[in-house]
Amino acid sequence: MFSIGELSKRTKVKVPTIRYYEEMGLLAPPERTAGNQRRYTNDGLERLSFIRHARDLGFSIDAISSLIELQNHPDRSCEAATEIAEGQLSEVRAKIKRLKALENELKRIAQGCDGRGVAEDCYVLASLADHDLCGRDH
């Protein structure tokens, strides 16, 4: 059995976040001691590790909830899990595309100024003040 502090140390999930996951129903309410302290089992540790890893991969709380629901029914098809993972992959790819466009625009803006002039004539400042100076929408 683990205290909430020990669970936090083992999973590197902050105590308030653990409580939040309990409130959201992602983590089952733990047993309580006579002094009302939370006590988690290995199952709780494994579930919290699962949640943390899923969050690290960018899955939403709703997606994690759906994945946990599937995990709780091992006889079901894993098709929904695959669809959730593919959806997350699609979101990550779209984010990467936006970030690459942002990188290119920032590079273009930064290269528009050699840093030797005065702020009044600075292309970086002018570009930030006037979106029309951007090479493309971002």
Going from the N-terminus, what domains does the chain have, and what CATH number goes with each? Answer: 4-76 (1.10.1660.10), 92-133 (no CATH)
pLDDT at 137 over 90: no
pLDDT at 58 over 90: yes
Q: Is 137 helix (H, G, I), strand (E, B) or coil?
A: coil
Question: What pTM does this model have?
Answer: 0.80
Mean pLDDT score across all residues of the chain: 91
Instruction: Encode pLDDT of 113-131 as tens digits.
Output: 887 888 888 888 888 888 8
The interaxial angle of helices 4-11 and 15-24, nearest 10 deg, is: 100
Per-residue confidence (pLDDT) for residue 130, from 0 to 100: 82
List the single range of 58-72, 82-96, 117-131 with lowest mean pLDDT: 117-131
Q: What 3 state SS string does 66-85 have?
A: HHHHHHCCCCCCCHHHHHHH
